[in-house]
Amino acid sequence: MTNQRQNNTDSEPSAEGDDLLASLRASLIAAADRDLPPQNLMIEASSIKAVECRPELLSRIVDQVFQTQSSDRDSFYESLGRLNHILPFGSEGRTILGLVWQAALLRLPEDERESKLEEFPRNEDGAFFGLLEALPIVLRKIRLSPARALPWFRRIRVVLGEDLCNRGYWCGIDAWTETDPVNARDVLDKISEHFPDDDTLSLGARILATLRRQGADCHRKVGMAEIEQTWPTHPESTKRLLHHRSWVETCRWKEISDDDVARLLQRLDAAGPEEVGEGFTFIRFLLNLGKTPPASIDLMIKWLRSHVTAKAPPMWIFTACMAARVAIKDGAPIWKSEHLEALLQLVLDCQPIPEGHAGTWAEIDQLIIALFKDSTADTTEFLARLFDSNPGGLRKLFDHTSRSRSCFMEMTRWSGLPKLLMEMFSVSTNRRQLAISLINSGMPLNLVQSELAALNESRIALGILQARLDGLRPQAASGLLLQLLPRIENGSEELKSLFAEELSYQAKNLPGLCLEAFKKSEKSSPVLKAAIAEAESYLESLRAASASPVSAMCIPGLRRARVTTQRRRSLEITKTTKEASVFLQLVKSFHIIYGNEGFASYLHGTLSPPTPFQEFSKSAEMPRLDLMDRDGQVLRRHHIVLQIRSLEKRCASPNSNDA
């Protein structure tokens, strides 16, 4: 039993509090006597109120906590840690812990109290993070001299490291600043007089933001007006930085006006790169809060565009992409239509973003999804330009195996997709590459026949050659060629010849997928029939050749080398599979050595019945010709590039109507 409900909690707080004391005592004794995990107490709000209102009750709890020791060697913080273990998670437990910690410190003489506080960041028994949560309550009554406060907070920050459980630290700073604003101002001045590290700068910015939040009295006491007036343009960069960053903190609790944003960004315009970085942090925070008015977003986008380049630090680029995403996703349609070009340009200016910057790409992913919902022409244009500047990154974005499927799935439903895929016949290399890249990523291929019919032959040839150069996914190759067939039938002999060559190549290269698809096709085209006949004759000759003695020779060392290669590849596959599979990482895997029908297991004294093995396999057809003649493929690609260049020139010529 941890507590008993009382109906008259308000009228009889004493009973409530006594009950809590009794429960605490029992739990502490149990936790000290038995080496068992403690059972959390249930604490109600009324109990907390009782503890706050009745100093003698709090004093008895403190006695209890520090008397019930499992060993004589228990330290101050070990006792508090034990208390923390039996308290529930959440604000109730945190409050009781803070009150007990605070009361225990207040009992001590001042010098001993300070030394106990000094011990806190050195606390290594695992209770640090639990106690940190209660720090704001402690600092509401404990005074810290400016000389001790700064190094103390910094030590806590060091112990915190990169841990995200830092709420107690920041709220502790707030609580201490609110309690002792004058000393806090002193600490702020100390920070501003040096070139602090980033953590100390953040500490100062937090103090300044907390002071800004206080009332007029406090502002008078600490000279807030002077800070606000002089620090933004102060000759000392530390002061300027502190001021800029304090606005990042301020926007957490204050509604920032468009004027505030304009003023801040204007000031940062003339500043050095360090302060500009503060601007990015400010914008990121503001956007994360989700309350930014469109006018401010407009300002931010303009500011970002003037500061972002491809060489900017990753966090700046992330901020720019995030801003564009927020603006496109959440902006009003009218506003968006006016600013879309600028927003998209902002993202393009950041390219090429490395493929490994997953967070930034996630923003672009969301931005593109938002674009799919709104427009077609701008999206096509944007994607083509994005592909120009970063083909690898965009390709990976649409590769559903490497990132989330969301962008891929949205695109498959996008009404502008067929038009975008028609870009494979564009005069622009990048647009052709983008379209082929999308086809290869598995986008549904449905070419617009009416547009195909209207396209001139040079552009059709460009599309065919580009597909040949970039290589088509086996599943897409037959589909594309069959969809092109009606247009080719009406084309010139030159175009037919080029197409027939490609048909024949793919039929031989992928007999399982392409040749079979061609055979199943209901189209009775002479070009198709000829390609099928040629491929079948080729395969028949190969069958005859493989049965003849011409290739029936053993090659010295080849058999052993194949075994070695296969073993190495198998090990690599096993390793990669294990790395890629969360399931395999969590579950222990066994290699069954003998018995090929199934397996049973003996665990915890139980022998399970045998389970038959289940086989999972996936096969894919490899492009034969591409693998058989790898050196030849490089030369082939070189010739295709020359052909493409010549066609592009023809299309670009002013006398040509191919453009």
Partner 1 sequence: MTPDSIDNFLSLYLRSLYEESREVKAGPRYGFDRVIHQIAIADGSTPVRLPFFRGARDKLPKPKKEAEHGVDMSFISPDREILTVFVLKDEALTYKNFIGEGMDKDLRMAAMPDLKDPALADIKRVRVVLGYNKDEDEEGVEQFELLAGSHQTRLKRGIRLEFDRWNLTKITELAKERLLSPSLLPDSFYNKFSYICAQYGDFDATSPHWSELLIPDWREFLDDVLQGPTKETKLRLVSIALIILSQHAKTDAKGRKTSGAALGWIEIVEWAMLALWKASAAAPKKTSRKIKRIVVELWFTFYLEELQAFYREHAQSLTSTHSLEIPGEELEDAGGSYRAHWHLGRLGLLSMALSEIIQSHDETSRQVGLAMLHEVQEWTVGLLNSNPSCFRPMLDIQHIEQFLVWRSLAVLNRWEDLEAWLHELTERIYVRYMGLCGITGIDYRNSWELLMDDLSGTDPRQSIPTASSYLLLMLMELCLSLPEGRGDAIVKSIHSRFVVEHEDESKRPKNAAGPVDLISWSPPEDWGDRILAGQDDGGYGITVALDHDNPASSLRNFVTKSLEVEAGKTFPACLPSVLILGCLRHSIPVPPAMWRHLRFAHQGEGEAAN
**Residue 412 vs residues 419, 437, 451: alpha-carbon distances, Å:** 12, 14, 20
Q: Write the DSSP symbol of residue 187.
A: H
Give the shortest CB-552-to-partner 1 separation in angstroms. Answer: 4
End-to-end CA distance of the chain: 85
d(CA 133, CA 282): 26
**Residue 564 vs residues 190, 255, 554, 567: alpha-carbon distances, Å:** 67, 67, 17, 5
Candidate segments 110-118, 231-239, 564-572, 599-607, binder of partner 1 by CB under 8 A: 564-572
Q: Helix 258-269 and helix 237-250: axis angle, to 10°?
A: 150
d(CA 27, CA 418): 69
d(CA 283, CA 296): 10
Rounded to 5°, angle at Cα 576 from 595 and 437: 125
Binding mask 570-609 for partner 1 (x = CB under 8 A): ----------------------------------------
Q: Provide the residue type at 212 as one letter.
A: R
Q: Pick the closest to residue 625 from 496, 474, 487 (CA basis).
A: 474
Of the candidate residues 453, 635, 641, 659, the single one contacting partner 1 (CB under 8 A): 635
Of the candidate residues 605, 617, 634, 655, the single one contacting partner 1 (CB under 8 A): 634
Give the shortest CB-545-to-partner 1 separation in angstroms. Answer: 4
Give the shortest CB-567-to-partner 1 separation in angstroms. Answer: 9
* Residue 564 touching partner 1 (CB under 8 A): yes
Exposed / middle / buried, residue 617 (Cβ in 10 Å: 0-12, 13-18, 19+): exposed
Cβ closest to partner 1, residue 186 vs residue 621: 621
d(CA 446, CA 419): 9
Q: How many CB atoms lie within 10 A of CB 194?
A: 10
Cβ closest to partner 1, residue 158 vs residue 561: 561
Cβ closest to partner 1, residue 537 vs residue 653: 537
Exposed / middle / buried, residue 65 (Cβ in 10 Å: 0-12, 13-18, 19+): buried
Helix (H) or strand (E) holding 612: strand 611-612
Cβ closest to partner 1, residue 549 vs residue 609: 549
Measured in whole angstroms, the distance separating CA 379 from the mean position of its chain's CA atoms is 23
Give the shortest CB-638-to-partner 1 separation in angstroms. Answer: 9
Of the candidate residues 252, 473, 624, 650, the single one contacting partner 1 (CB under 8 A): 624
* Residue 622 touching partner 1 (CB under 8 A): yes
State the greatest distance between any 2 C-alpha atoms of the chain, in Å, as a whole number. Answer: 105
Give the shortest CB-651-to-partner 1 separation in angstroms. Answer: 28
Give the shortest CB-376-to-partner 1 separation in angstroms. Answer: 39
Give the shortest CB-637-to-partner 1 separation in angstroms. Answer: 9
Give the shortest CB-557-to-partner 1 separation in angstroms. Answer: 3
No. of H helices and E strands in the chain? 36, 4
* Residue 627 touching partner 1 (CB under 8 A): yes
Binding mask 520-559 for partner 1 (x = CB under 8 A): ------------------x--xx-xxxxxxxxxxxxxxxx
Candidate segments 142-150, 232-240, 484-492, 628-636, binder of partner 1 by CB under 8 A: 628-636
**Residue 190 vs residues 149, 186, 207, 401, 410: alpha-carbon distances, Å:** 11, 6, 12, 53, 54
Cβ closest to partner 1, residue 552 vs residue 607: 552
Write down the residue that tokens 């494979």 correspond to.
424
Give the shortest CB-433-to-partner 1 separation in angstroms. Answer: 19
Of the candidate residues 289, 580, 628, 659, the single one contacting partner 1 (CB under 8 A): 628
Cβ closest to partner 1, residue 584 vs residue 628: 628
Find out whether 6 and 19 touch, Cβ atoms under 8 Å: yes
Q: Count residues binding partner 1 (CB under 8 A).
A: 38
* Residue 471 touching partner 1 (CB under 8 A): no
* Residue 225 touching partner 1 (CB under 8 A): no
d(CA 530, CA 545): 22
Of the candidate residues 179, 214, 475, 633, the single one contacting partner 1 (CB under 8 A): 633
Give the shortest CB-640-to-partner 1 separation in angstroms. Answer: 15
Residues lying near partner 1 in the complex (CB under 8 A): 538, 541-542, 544-562, 564-566, 568, 622, 624-625, 627-635
